[in-house]
């Protein structure tokens, strides 16, 4: 028998018989009498013997109630009133019951989550008479699995729609599966025959409508109406799309429903970020060059920032806080952010001991809604989200360890002994595939989703040692392949390594199933423990030999800012200001994402993003001959760090005071020479110098170069300076 089928057939009820007790009424308030013990889910009948004394209120009523661990309450009433004397009560909670509840709705899925119950009395009279309650018990109710199923309350979004617009269908299967997240119990698919002859399959997902409100210190989210299944589809080409719904229940029941054609108008649309087809080192969107600029917003607040860099804790107000972040950042040139589905932020699956979570294979419905809202808010503010599915602590029992709370852990009711089994155990992989199926069904159509990151700092999980690298490679190959199969919109997939490029596992990095690579760029101070300045570290990271340039994939830095424990603020200011330009001329696929986001936000330190976006406007770094080259730069004080990204006819360069980037503080450079090379072809060129702090051009001049060595002279500057050199046809 499938493990989830037991609940549908009648789960074990753990509540024992309540001893006889005289219960004083609390009229006119409701009087509750809870069961002795807890329910473990499944259809249940609550039985009790009640003796009502003479003198009891004439309007005395009684009902039974059940609730899940988070307090969602469902109830049934006994018709009529209780007159003096003995009464036997039997109220059943099954899938067919019409049970009232505040904001929620009853279903077989509700039954599976029940954990508490009892009876209640009510009266409008002020009375404290004692009512004898005996033999209060909950018993399982066996249910037969239906031979035939049907689809009820089918609701289609209007047609026609414009290409690039989400279209959805919502319905309620009958019967509702006891575990709506398990496709083995109920599987819903939409088959789409596109006008171009391509057939696409889109999975449905369990969808609990939610409402949210600002509760002051937090965002409150609760059910708002009956749940059901939803299929989301975003057509990308115009024309008539033929649609079929296919539903299958465990036991063999199935329904196929032909839906009206989806008529799609407007021009073809493809607004997703993808690895560029022509130059796979970069990203593009609908064929246009894209270079994400953003920072790491892994969760609403960061305790490490408070400890290491004196930022203030941001109140965790869920998507209300993220919406405020996005509004401020989006207006300052930021168009990307990384967000973690961590246990303390937006995870869907975690230990039942935490509010909102329901253990293995059952998802946090409020967080699922929050991710929908997160993506909508990001899109509204011109931003995209790199979504992290697992953070390393979930797979570690020694570094930022969270394994002790993982629902797959045997001590929490799971079946695994060690976190390394997350990557090898067949049952664990089955639940992981189920999780990815849900993610792709619910979120993959969203244009604000930049990419799927399978793990943060995967080398810090338990199997991170060299002898187990192949184990991680095998897991990543399967997981990435699975996501690509389920995500018909083809979002890029990545994983992530800690510290710097030196931590990258070649066995994983070279996998063709991984579209791009993400790393940290943390470093010790220069001269300490082989420490480097940020520019040297980023440059080495893209080296075609020992660096990551040899993989021919986009590379992003998703954490940086001093070392893992930060750095003095003058250095942080310098790295924040210079990190984006440094990454640009070294050949990274986007700006590095600073980890210390509260420090950025609370200090309104947005200028580096505005400057970088202004410099990059209209630029395209792609091309088979495009490359990063080292330049020579010097003045009377010594050498400077200088590098350029060059392609035929165009050079984007950057000159940096290395002492300033290493420690911050003052910097003034005069009489600087920048040597571009010894064999520069002759011709007419336009040279523009840019203020790298504010993103404005300073001077523009015309060069008539005869050929051979070329040295250019920047104006006096402090800290750093950028330039553009363009051949004039």
Nearest to 76 by CA among 91, 88, 61: 91
Long-range contacts, stretch 433-438, CB < 8 angstroms, 24+ apart: 433/482, 434/181, 434/182, 434/183, 434/361, 435/348, 435/349, 435/389, 436/389, 436/479, 436/482, 436/483, 436/486, 437/183, 437/203, 437/486, 438/181, 438/205, 438/348, 438/363
Taking the C-alpha atoms of residue 109 and residue 208, their distance in angstroms, rounded to an integer, is: 11
Q: Percent of the chain scored above 70 by pLDDT?
A: 95
Average of per-residue pLDDT across 372-391: 98
Point out which residues pair with 243 in neighbouring strands: 192, 259
pLDDT for residue 603 is more than 80: yes
Taking the C-alpha atoms of residue 325 and residue 340, their distance in angstroms, rounded to an integer, is: 15
Sequence-distant (≥ 6) Cβ neighbours of residue 43 within 8 angstroms: 10, 11, 92, 93, 94, 95, 111, 140, 141, 142, 143
Please state which of the ranges 8-12, 123-127, 426-430 shows the lowest mean pLDDT: 8-12
Taking the C-alpha atoms of residue 114 and residue 134, their distance in angstroms, rounded to an integer, is: 23
CA 394 distance to own-chain centroid: 15
| pLDDT tens per residue, range 386-406 | 999 999 999 998 889 999 999
Residue 24 burial (C-beta neighbours within 10 Å; 0-12, 13-18, 19+): exposed
229 backbone φψ class: left, alpha, beta (φ>0; ψ -120 to 50): beta
pLDDT at 71: 82
Taking the C-alpha atoms of residue 111 and residue 461, their distance in angstroms, rounded to an integer, is: 36
pLDDT for residue 3 is more than 70: no
- b/e burial code for range 213-234 (CB count within 10 A of at least 16 → b): eeeeeebebbbeeebbbbbbbb
DSSP 55-75: T--TT-EEEEEEEETT--EEE
pLDDT for residue 530 is more than 70: no
Q: Which one is predicted more confidently, 96 or 707?
A: 707
Cα→Cα distances 405→38, 268, 387, 431, Å: 22, 47, 22, 17
Please state which of the ranges 250-254, 322-326, 407-411, 490-494 shows the lowest mean pLDDT: 250-254
- Mean pLDDT for all residues in the chain: 93
pLDDT for residue 430 is more than 50: yes
pLDDT at 464: 63
Query: Could you tell me if 272 and 234 are in contact, meaning their C-beta atoms sit under 8 angstroms apart?
Result: no
DSSP class of residue 100? B
pLDDT at 9: 35
Cα→Cα distances 248→174, 181, 182, 203, 231, Å: 11, 14, 12, 12, 15
pLDDT for residue 716 is more than 80: yes
| pLDDT tens per residue, range 466-518 | 668 899 999 999 999 999 999 999 999 999 999 999 999 999 999 999 999 99
pLDDT at 466: 62
Cα→Cα distances 589→1, 444, 543, 622, Å: 49, 22, 14, 10
Query: Could you tell me if 278 and 301 are in contact, meaning their C-beta atoms sit under 8 angstroms apart?
Result: no
pLDDT band at 99 (very low <50, low <70, confident <90, very high): low
Please state which of the ranges 91-105, 289-303, 487-501 shows the lowest mean pLDDT: 91-105
- Taking the alpha carbons at both ends of the chain, their separation in whole angstroms is 74
Sequence-distant (≥ 6) Cβ neighbours of residue 364 within 8 angstroms: 347, 348, 349, 350, 356, 357, 358
Taking the C-alpha atoms of residue 716 and residue 700, their distance in angstroms, rounded to an integer, is: 14
Query: Is the backbone peptide bond immediately before 28 cis, with ω within 30 degrees of 0?
Result: yes
Taking the C-alpha atoms of residue 184 and residue 74, their distance in angstroms, rounded to an integer, is: 27
Taking the C-alpha atoms of residue 544 and residue 101, their distance in angstroms, rounded to an integer, is: 62
Rg, Å, the chain Cα set: 31
Longest dimension (CA), the chain: 114
What's the pTM? Answer: 0.92
Taking the C-alpha atoms of residue 470 and residue 100, their distance in angstroms, rounded to an integer, is: 54
Point out which residues pair with 559 in neighbouring strands: 520
Taking the C-alpha atoms of residue 556 and residue 542, their distance in angstroms, rounded to an integer, is: 10
pLDDT for residue 273 is more than 60: yes
Sequence-distant (≥ 6) Cβ neighbours of residue 565 within 8 angstroms: 304, 308
Would you tell me how many other CB atoms lie within 10 Å of the CB of residue 565?
Answer: 10
Query: Could you tell me if 91 and 46 are in contact, meaning their C-beta atoms sit under 8 angstroms apart?
Result: yes
pLDDT for residue 85 is more than 60: yes
Please state which of the ranges 140-154, 260-274, 668-682 shows the lowest mean pLDDT: 140-154
Q: Is 49 helix (H, G, I), strand (E, B) or coil?
A: strand
pLDDT for residue 636 is more than 60: yes
Taking the C-alpha atoms of residue 447 and residue 375, their distance in angstroms, rounded to an integer, is: 8
Nearest to 4 by CA among 145, 173, 209: 145
Nearest to 366 by CA among 39, 112, 71: 71
| pLDDT tens per residue, range 165-213 | 999 999 999 989 989 999 999 999 999 999 999 999 999 999 999 999 9
Query: Could you tell me if 643 and 662 are in contact, meaning their C-beta atoms sit under 8 angstroms apart?
Result: no
pLDDT band at 347 (very low <50, low <70, confident <90, very high): very high
Taking the C-alpha atoms of residue 277 and residue 319, their distance in angstroms, rounded to an integer, is: 35
Strand 161-162 relative to strand 254-265, pairing: parallel
Cα→Cα distances 35→12, 79, 264, Å: 15, 21, 55
Average of per-residue pLDDT across 151-172: 97
Domains of the chain: residue spans and CATH: 5-140 (2.60.120), 150-265 (2.60.40.10), 292-498+512-528+555-571+580-619 (3.20.20.80), 628-727 (2.60.40.1180)
pLDDT band at 144 (very low <50, low <70, confident <90, very high): low
Nearest to 203 by CA among 369, 438, 365, 436: 438
Strand 384-388 relative to strand 336-340, pairing: parallel
pLDDT for residue 294 is more than 80: yes
DSSP class of residue 154? E
Would you tell me how many other CB atoms lie within 10 Å of the CB of residue 574?
Answer: 26
pLDDT at 104: 62
Average of per-residue pLDDT across 698-704: 96
pLDDT for residue 608 is more than 50: yes
Please state which of the ranges 76-80, 238-242, 280-284, 526-530 shows the lowest mean pLDDT: 526-530
pLDDT for residue 13 is more than 60: no
Is the C-alpha dihedral spanning 339, 342, 345, 350 positive or negative? positive
Q: Is 12 helix (H, G, I), strand (E, B) or coil?
A: coil
pLDDT at 142: 75
For 10-149, strand residue ranges (E) read 21-24, 31-34, 44-52, 61-68, 73-77, 85-93, 114-122, 130-140
Which run of H or of E encompasses 371? Answer: helix 365-380
pLDDT for residue 146 is more than 80: no
pLDDT for residue 10 is more than 90: no
pLDDT band at 74 (very low <50, low <70, confident <90, very high): confident
Query: Could you tell me if 436 and 371 are in contact, meaning their C-beta atoms sit under 8 angstroms apart?
Result: no
pLDDT at 675: 97
């Amino acid at each position: 028998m499938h493990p989830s089928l037991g609940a549908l057939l009648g789960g074990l009820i753990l509540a024992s018989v309540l001893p006889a007790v005289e219960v004083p009424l609390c009229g006119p308030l409701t009087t509750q009498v809870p069961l002795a013990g807890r329910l473990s889910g499944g259809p249940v009948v609550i039985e009790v013997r009640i003796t009502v004394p003479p003198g009891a209120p004439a309007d005395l009523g009684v009902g039974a109630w059940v609730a899940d661990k988070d307090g969602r309450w469902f109830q049934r009433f006994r018709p009529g009133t209780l007159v003096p004397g003995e009464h036997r009560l039997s109220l059943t909670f099954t899938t067919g019951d019409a049970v009232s509840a505040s904001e929620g709705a009853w279903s077989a899925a509700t039954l599976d989550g029940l954990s508490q119950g009892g009876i209640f009395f009510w009266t409008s009279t002020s009375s404290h008479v004692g009512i004898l309650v005996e033999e209060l018990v909950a018993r399982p109710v066996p249910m037969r699995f239906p031979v035939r199923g049907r689809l009820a309350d089918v609701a289609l979004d209007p047609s026609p729609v414009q290409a690039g617009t989400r279209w959805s269908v919502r319905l309620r299967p009958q019967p509702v599966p006891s575990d709506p997240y398990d496709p083995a119990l109920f599987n819903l698919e939409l088959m789409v025959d596109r006008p171009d002859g391509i057939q696409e399959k889109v999975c449905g997902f369990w969808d609990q409508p939610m409402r949210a409100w600002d509760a002051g210190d937090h965002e409150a989210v609760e059910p708002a109406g009956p749940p059901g299944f939803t299929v989301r589809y975003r057509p990308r080409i115009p024309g008539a799309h033929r649609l079929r719904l296919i539903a299958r229940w465990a036991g063999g029941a199935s329904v196929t429903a032909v839906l009206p054609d989806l008529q799609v108008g407007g021009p073809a649309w493809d607004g997703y970020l993808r690895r560029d087809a022509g130059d796979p080192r970069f990203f593009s969107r609908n064929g246009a060059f894209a270079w994400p600029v953003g920072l790491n917003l892994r969760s609403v607040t960061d305790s490490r920032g408070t400890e290491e860099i004196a930022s203030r804790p941001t109140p965790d107000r869920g998507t209300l806080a993220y919406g405020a972040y996005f509004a401020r950042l989006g207006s300052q040139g930021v168009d990307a952010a990384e967000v973690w589905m961590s246990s303390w932020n937006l995870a869907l699956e975690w230990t039942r001991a935490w509010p909102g979570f329901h253990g293995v294979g059952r998802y946090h419905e409020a967080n699922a809604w929050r991710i929908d809202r997160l993506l909508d808010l990001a899109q509204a503010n011109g931003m995209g989200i790199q979504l992290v599915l697992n953070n390393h602590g979930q797979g570690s029992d020694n570094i930022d360890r969270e394994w002790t709370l993982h629902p797959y852990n045997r001590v929490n009711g799971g079946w695994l002994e060690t976190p390394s089994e997350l990557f090898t155990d067949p049952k664990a992989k089955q639940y992981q595939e189920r999780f990815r199926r849900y993610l792709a069904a619910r979120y993959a159509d969203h244009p604000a989703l930049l990419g799927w990151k399978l793990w943060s700092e995967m080398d810090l999980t338990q199997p991170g040692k060299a002898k187990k690298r192949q184990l991680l490679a095998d897991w990543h190959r399967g997981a990435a392949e699975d996501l690509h199969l389920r995500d018909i919109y083809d979002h890029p997939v990545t994983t992530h390594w800690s510290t710097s490029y030196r931590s990258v596992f070649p066995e994983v990095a070279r996998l063709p199933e991984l579209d791009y690579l993400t790393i940290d760029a943390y470093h010790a101070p220069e001269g300490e423990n082989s420490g480097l300045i940020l520019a040297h570290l980023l440059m080495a990271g893209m080296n075609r030999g020992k660096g990551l340039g040899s993989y021919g994939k986009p590379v992003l830095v998703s954490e940086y800012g001093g070392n893992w424990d930060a750095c003095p603020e003058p250095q942080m200011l310098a790295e924040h200001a210079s990190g984006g330009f440094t990454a640009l001329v070294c050949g990274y696929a986007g700006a590095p994402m600073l980890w210390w986001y509260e420090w950025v936000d609370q200090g309104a330190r947005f200028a580096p993003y505005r400057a970088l976006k202004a410099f990059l406007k209209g630029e395209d770094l792609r091309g088979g001959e495009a490359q990063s080259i080292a330049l020579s730069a010097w003045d009377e004080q010594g050498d400077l760090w200088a590098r350029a990204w060059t392609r035929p006819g165009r050079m984007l360069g950057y000159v940096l005071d290395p002492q300033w980037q290493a420690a911050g503080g003052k910097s003034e450079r005069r009489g600087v020479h920048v040597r571009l090379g010894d064999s520069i072809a002759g011709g007419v060129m336009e040279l523009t110098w840019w203020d790298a702090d504010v993103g404005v051009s300073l001077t523009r001049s015309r060069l008539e170069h005869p050929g051979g060595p070329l040295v250019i002279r920047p104006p006096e500057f402090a800290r750093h300076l950028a330039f553009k050199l363009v051949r004039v046809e």
